[in-house]
Every structure is written in structure tokens, then in C-alpha cells.
Amino acid sequence: MDAANHLILLGGGLMLAAILTGALSTRIGAPLLLVFLGAGMLVGEDGPGGIQYSDYGTVYTLASLAVAVILFDGGLRTSFRTVRRSWGPAAWLATVGVVITAGITAAAAWSVFSIPPVIALLIGTVVASTDAAAVFLLLHQRGLEIRERVSATLELESGANDPMAILLTMLLVSIATGTLQAQDMGLSIPLSLIKAFVVGGALGLAGGQAISWAVNRLMLAPGLYPVLVIAGALTLFGLSHTLGGSGFLTVYVAGIVVGNQRLRAQVVIRRFHDGIAWISQILLLVMLGLLVTPHKLVPDLLPAIATALAMVFVARPAAVALCLWRSRLTLRERLFVAWVGLRGGMPIYMAIIPVLSGVPEAGLIFNVTFIVVLVSLVLQGWSISAVARLLRVEIPPAPEPQGRLDIDIPSNLDQDIVGYTITPDSPAAGLSREDLRLPGRSRLLSVLRGNVVVPEQGLDHFQTGDFVLLLTPPEQGLTLDRLFLAKDKKTRRVALADFVIPGAAPLGSVCDAYEISVADDQRQKSIGQFVSDTLGGTPGIGDSLLAGAVELVVVQTEGDRISSVGIRLEPDHGAAWETVVPRRLLSHIRRWRLRRPA
């Protein structure tokens, strides 16, 4: 009885300490995943906690559930628009990219360790896949936002590359333990891979639709809907593995399907999954950190660091260069994708497989994997914000929905009811109703001022403290956030362009002002339509194209339509003559052009 109480006290206190330490870590920019790993190590055998724990089987089972929850939550936050934009590059990175990274990293491990080639290949394969939890968390930490095409590629890759890495790990484990001979494999590798992707993907699509149908048809207590969703996701995870598919791919795809549906109790579901995903991340990393004995890492420290550096600076860039050489990503964007090959809990989780299977040198594989993850989190995770600014792939972050109230309405209605409290820094403060310019199909329902509803004819302007209630389509929620929520002053330094104009502005007028040459039949288009047609595909914030002496940048979108276009007076890739004219003089000349009468 006392042992059980002590265990509960230890578990709750450890999680509380990890959360509080994580809150402090954001002040110094430390990656939260690194903090959670460190918390597990501190309570472990060599830390102040002194807990000796080596139950790899239990950790593997709990870690599987945690990773499934994290991937499902990541899918809930992924829009179909994101998938359409970047599924091609992400698919190459999630399959061929994993093989390239594993091969080069294995060569590095083989050269610094005196180990058989199959063990080196196991090390390379275990650390080859990027970690979904690390990518989802670190790409959006501390107000950081990345160009949509880049972040979409990284997030889709991290959610879909686990089947390849796990399959290769299982095959190499079978070879290392003698249960499978390399010459007997034949077509088993491609067939197993195809089965994992086909079964996993198909079950995710069908299961996601089934979960959505159940939520919208069953009459339950409001608190049971999130439980129904997570229970359905975990059922799909286990069923997929039973049928030979990839359970991780299944829950990720199911999350995407569910997240893009109109659901009953949608606000409650999203908040619940946000919380349970955080719990899963903390639980996963603290448990993995608890398994590590730091003094056993010392003998392999330097060779493992060399292996990690080879992965970061050689293997990952080579994989990105070969897989994305025909993609539409710019050189800066590809460099950022190459740098953000983040490793986290997933490689350590996969390193448990050789331990449970009795692979020779399994302890070495686990220790090297842990060191590689630490190097990745310290080197790449700590520098992600600086690299994003250096490569100019950062975009202005969307306002955080603090001060926004979401109200559930029937799921069959394509509308949301949202409420905002106007603060002194809100863009809407002091504006009249006419000047507010709500997006199309959005309607002002009511304004509450001092516990009194302001009548429509008495609403001359919005004041600080007003509570505004609106009816809006879901896709226009971000536009309303920009109108009513105050921006974080720390993030105002990010600017996509020197000037911003509406996407509906006539292209001909812009061409006359900036001496852009286009065909006569194009001049009747809006500038937003022109940019969208020229870029092709689905436009994303931060996408740009060179137009004469200026650069046109996508600043804001509504669905698949460009609603705001920025004009950058000093393009990243200007004409050759710009290298002769001083940039500051060139900037003054262009601003004079803008001010002169049309």
C-alpha cells in the first residue's frame, strides 16, 4: 500500500517538476524536449533521484501509446491544404530520405566504432527518421512561424517516416539475431514496406471517417467525446499493427481526417487532445531519460558525437539535396529543411527494439542513439530560431487565440461563433464598425459593454473592454484574430515585405507603379490571382516570385485564395545590375517611384 502511494507521489512530483522546469527553460530558449529528457536522467541511477530502472519492455509499451497519441494530435492540427501543398517532397524524404540518411550515418558509425556492418546499419537506421514530437513542438515554440510550404514538408515527413525506419530496424534486428539471412530476404523488404504504407494509410482514412461519424451521430455526455476520439485512435493503432500495417501512419492519417471534419464538441476535443499530447510527450521523454545511465555513456561519447555530427552535417543534407532537387522549394528553404532534421524520443524508442530482441551490442546502439538525440536537440533544436532568421524563412506569427472564446454549434453548420475581448493593443480598438471591414460571410452578432448590450444604432466605435461576438466560417477565423487580437510586440520584427496591398488590387496598376512587364491579357487580373497562377499549386504565406525589379510575396491567404500580397523592394535574388548599385541608394530610388504620381 505504501509502495503504491510512494509510486504515485514520485510520478506526480516528477511530472510536475518537468513541467515547471520546462516553463523556466523557455526563458533561456532551451528545447523543452531536452529538458524533459534531462528530468528523467536526474531521477535516474546517476542523478539525485538514484532510481535504478531498466524495465525496457514496460517503457516500450507505454512509449508506443505515447507516440501514437502525439502523432494523432499532430494529425488533428494538419489541414488538407497542408497535405496538398507538400505531400510529394515529404513522401520522398519519408522513404528514400530515410534510407540515404541511414546509409551515410551507418558508414560514419562503422568508421569510428569497431563493430560489424549490421550493427552500424542498425545505428544508422534507428536515428534516420526525424521525430514528430520534436518537429511539431520546436517549429512553433516561442512564437516562431515558418513559411507554410517548409513547415508543411517537415511536419508531413516527420509524421510519415516512421514506417520506413521501423521496418528497416525490424529487418536488421532479424539479421543480427540470426532469425533471417540476408540472402533469403528477396522481395520481403519492398513487399513489407508496401503493405505497411497501404494498410496503414487505408485504415487511417477509413478509421478517421468512422471516428468522425461516431462523434457526430452518438449522443453522449460532452466530456465523453474526447475520450471516444482517443479510444478510437488507439484502437486503430493496435488494429493496424495486427494487420501488418504501420500503426503510427494509421493514427497520423486518422488524425488528419478527424481534424478536418466539423465535429460535435469540437472545442472540447481539441483542448483535451492538446493536454493529453503534452502529457504523452512528458511521459515519453522522462521514461526514456530514466532508462539512461550517464556514466555508461562516457566510453562511447566521442565516437557517438562524431557519428551525430556526420548525420547532421553530411547525411541529412545529402538526403535533402537528393530528394528535393526537383521540388519547388528555394535554396534557402532546402537548407532549412536540411538543418531541421530533428531527433527526439522516437529514435530512442526504436533503440529499445534491439535491446528487447537480444541483439549483440544492443547497449551500444542504445547509448549511441541517446547521444545522437542529445546532440541534435542541443545543436539543431537550440538554434532553430536563429537559423530561420538567417535563412529568411520566418514569417510573422499568427496571433495566439488568447482572449478568444469559441462556442460550439451544431456540426452540420459551416459556421463558428467566436468572441473577443478588445484590449488597448487590439487593432480594432477605436475603430468604427464601418472601418473594421469584416471578411465576407462574417457577421457581427453582439457587442457587450459594461454588462450592457450595445444596440446596433448606438455602436459608433469599439472601445477597450468591449466583448464582441461574431458568426464566421471556420476558414476566416485567422483573419478575425488579426483584427481583434493584439500582436506580441516581440514578434513584430518579422516582416515579409516593405508594403502590403490587397490581393484584389488590379495587376495593371501595380505594374505601372513598379514597371513590371506582363502580357496585356494578364493586366485585367487581380494581383492575388496573378501571383497564384504564376506560382501554381496551393499558395502559402511566404511564397514569392521575382517580378521586374521587385519581389511579390504572399502575405495572407483565405482558403486557397491570396488576400494580401507584399512588395519587397530589395529582392533576395535581384537582377545582375543590382550588385553594382548600392542597396541603400536603390531603396531610395524605388521609394521615389512609389511616391510619384501615376
Question: Which pLDDT value is given to residue 397?
Answer: 61
Report if residue 395 sits inside a domain: no
Question: Which pLDDT value is given to residue 393?
Answer: 85
Report if residue 521 sits inside a domain: yes
Grid coordinates given for 249: 501512419
- The reply to whether 542 and 440 lie within a common domain is no
- The reply to whether 346 and 377 lie within a common domain is yes
Sign of the alpha-carbon torsion through 378, 382, 387, 390: negative
- The reply to whether 42 and 181 lie within a common domain is yes
- The reply to whether 257 and 361 lie within a common domain is yes
- Model pTM score: 0.75
> Which of 431, 461, 487 is at the close of a domain?
487
569 neighbors 550 (Cβ within 8 angstroms): yes
Q: CATH number, domain at 475?
A: 3.30.70.1450
Question: Which pLDDT value is given to residue 316?
Answer: 94
Instruction: Tell me how far apart the alpha carbons of residues 176 and 581 are, in angstroms, rounded to a whole number.
Output: 63
- The reply to whether 469 and 562 lie within a common domain is no
- The reply to whether 530 and 551 lie within a common domain is yes
Question: Which pLDDT value is given to residue 592?
Answer: 47
Find, among 562, 397, 554, 415, the residue nearest to 481 by Cα: 397
- The reply to whether 506 and 440 lie within a common domain is no
CB atoms within 10 A of CB 200: 29
Question: Which pLDDT value is given to residue 490?
Answer: 45
DSSP string, 254-290: HHHHHHTS--TTHHHHHHHHHHHHHHHHHHHHHHHHH
- The reply to whether 53 and 155 lie within a common domain is yes
Q: CATH number, domain at 189?
A: 1.20.1530.20
Q: What's CA 439's distance to the chain center, in Å?
A: 28
The pair phi, psi for residue 356, each rounded to 5°, is: -70, -25
- The reply to whether 464 and 503 lie within a common domain is no
170 neighbors 121 (Cβ within 8 angstroms): no
Report if residue 398 sits inside a domain: no
Number of domains making up the chain: 3
- The reply to whether 452 and 579 lie within a common domain is no
Host domain of residue 460:
404-487
Report if residue 399 sits inside a domain: no
> Which of 443, 465, 487 is at the close of a domain?
487
Report if residue 329 sits inside a domain: yes
Instruction: Tell me how far apart the alpha carbons of residues 438 and 519 are, in angstroms, rounded to a whole number.
Output: 34
- The reply to whether 327 and 475 lie within a common domain is no
Report if residue 176 sits inside a domain: yes
CB atoms within 10 A of CB 184: 8
Write down how long the chain is: 598
- The reply to whether 147 and 93 lie within a common domain is yes
Report if residue 397 sits inside a domain: no
Question: Which pLDDT value is given to residue 210?
Answer: 94
Report if residue 345 sits inside a domain: yes
Q: CATH number, domain at 509?
A: 3.30.465.10
Task: Output the tens digit of pLDDT for each of the chain's 598 residues.
Answer: 556 666 677 667 666 766 666 555 555 445 677 777 877 888 777 777 777 777 888 888 888 898 899 889 888 888 887 788 788 888 899 989 999 999 999 999 999 998 899 999 999 999 998 887 778 777 766 556 788 788 888 888 888 888 788 888 888 888 888 776 555 555 666 777 788 888 999 999 999 999 999 988 888 887 888 899 999 999 999 999 899 888 888 999 999 999 888 887 777 888 888 888 888 888 888 888 888 888 888 888 999 999 999 999 999 999 999 999 888 888 888 999 999 888 888 888 889 999 998 888 888 999 999 999 999 988 888 888 888 888 888 876 655 555 566 666 665 566 778 888 888 888 888 888 777 778 777 888 888 887 788 887 778 788 888 888 888 887 677 678 778 877 654 444 456 666 677 888 888 777 777 767 777 777 788 888 888 888 776 777 778 778 777 788 888 777 677 878 888 776 754 333 333 334 444 444 444 444 444 4
> Which of 462, 487, 512 is at the close of a domain?
487
